[in-house]
Amino acid sequence: MDKLVSLQSFVRVVEQGSFAAAARAIGQSRSQVNRAVVALEDDLGVQLLNRTTRTVSVTPSGRAFYQRAKAILTDLDEAEESIRENQEKPAGDIRINAPMSFGTLHLGPALVDFARMYPEIRVELALNDHFIDPVADGFDMTVRISRPTETLALIDHEIIPIRRVICASPDFLHKNGEPTDISDLATLPCLHYGNLPGGSTWKLTGPNGPVSVQVNGVFCCNNAEVLRDAAIAGLGLVELPTFIAGAELQTGRLVTVLCNYTPPEIFLYLLYPPSRQLSSRIRLLVDFMHDRFGGQPHWDLVQ
């Protein structure tokens, strides 16, 4: 039996949850779908699905194989799309993963504009701050804000550096005094990001090189927008990316301090499988991201 047909049948059974639903989805009979999956299991020498009279579940081997099979079928679809020269309008689905704060503040509104520009492209945006493997989790593209990591399995496409600053509200500085040395962070109230491996240790680069300081952490959270709002309320000093604090820095609700000390450089960049490079809609999205966020970011234009 054609292995491609077997792969398509198996993937549809996993996604649909039953042989009958998979058969309806691909326009074949239930027995045809069952034979295709059985042939695939015989060829591999492993059981991919557990079958009872009422339910179908995926075995551990089947779950692992599903991820690879899904990627193969997606790659095939992308390759076919890349040679359709007569396609008048970009069309299809794009599944995007991005961090929560950047997604809500900047990427979400940008993708609304992208969807208006290309109405035939269906955009699915999933926001969370957990590490995501674009291939294993079925995403066409992942937007990251961190230090890029080299991987042969993914294309790493840098857009812009992301600047971070230490800042506080004018009211806080009036009541507590402005820090004049990095050692002041050990006594003045500080707000820190709860997901950082270093906890309340801030790593900075100053006039004499890298330095680590154990700050006086009085409040922590794994969401930088909450930390921004706490800083505006006068709760303490905070280290924030300017894409989150930019508007408040521009209006004076937050003020930068210790400007001679900078956190390690991070970047806004895109990750996607090499095969997606062939997709016209992915190329459009990459170009759009460069146009929207490349160069001098709008959140840093006025200080």
* CATH number for the domain that contains residue 134: 3.40.190.10
pLDDT value at residue 253: 96
pLDDT value at residue 260: 93
Residue in 238, 303, 299, 247 with CA at minimum distance from that of residue 268:
299
* pLDDT higher than threshold 80 for residue 279: no
Side-chain-facing half-sphere of 8: CA atoms under 13 Å? 15
Q: What is the mean pLDDT of residues 258-279?
A: 83
In this structure, the number of other CB atoms found within 10 A of the CB of residue 151 comes to 10
**Calpha distance 145→270 (Å, rounded):** 9
Q: Do 26 and 58 fall within a single domain?
A: yes
Split into its structural domains, the chain has a count of 3
Q: Kindly state the tokens that stand for 199.
A: 């906890």
The pTM of the full predicted model, rounded to 2 decimals, is 0.68
Confidence of residue 197 (pLDDT cuts 50, 70, 90): low
Out of 82, 101, 129, a domain closes at 82
Q: Do 294 and 154 fall within a single domain?
A: yes
* pLDDT higher than threshold 80 for residue 286: yes
Q: Do 154 and 276 fall within a single domain?
A: yes
Q: Percent helix, strand, coil in the chain (nearest 5)?
A: 45, 25, 30
Confidence of residue 42 (pLDDT cuts 50, 70, 90): confident
Given a contact cutoff of 8 angstroms between Cβ atoms, the answer to whether 5 and 11 are in contact is no
pLDDT tens-digit profile of 147-192? 766 665 677 788 999 999 999 999 999 999 999 999 999 999 999 8
Q: Residue 5, by phi and psi: left (phi above 0), alpha (psi -120 to 50) or beta?
A: alpha
Given a contact cutoff of 8 angstroms between Cβ atoms, the answer to whether 159 and 294 are in contact is yes
Query: What's the mean per-residue pLDDT of the chain?
Result: 85
Amino acid at 64: A
Q: Do 240 and 273 fall within a single domain?
A: no
Given a contact cutoff of 8 angstroms between Cβ atoms, the answer to whether 131 and 197 are in contact is no
The secondary structure of 80-100, three-state, reads HHHCCCCCCCCCEEEEEEECH
pLDDT tens-digit profile of 86-114? 455 778 889 999 999 999 999 999 999 99
pLDDT value at residue 85: 41
Confidence of residue 40 (pLDDT cuts 50, 70, 90): confident
Q: What are phi and psi of 272, to 5 degrees?
A: -155, 155
Q: Do 154 and 274 fall within a single domain?
A: yes
Give domain status of residue 87, yes or no: no
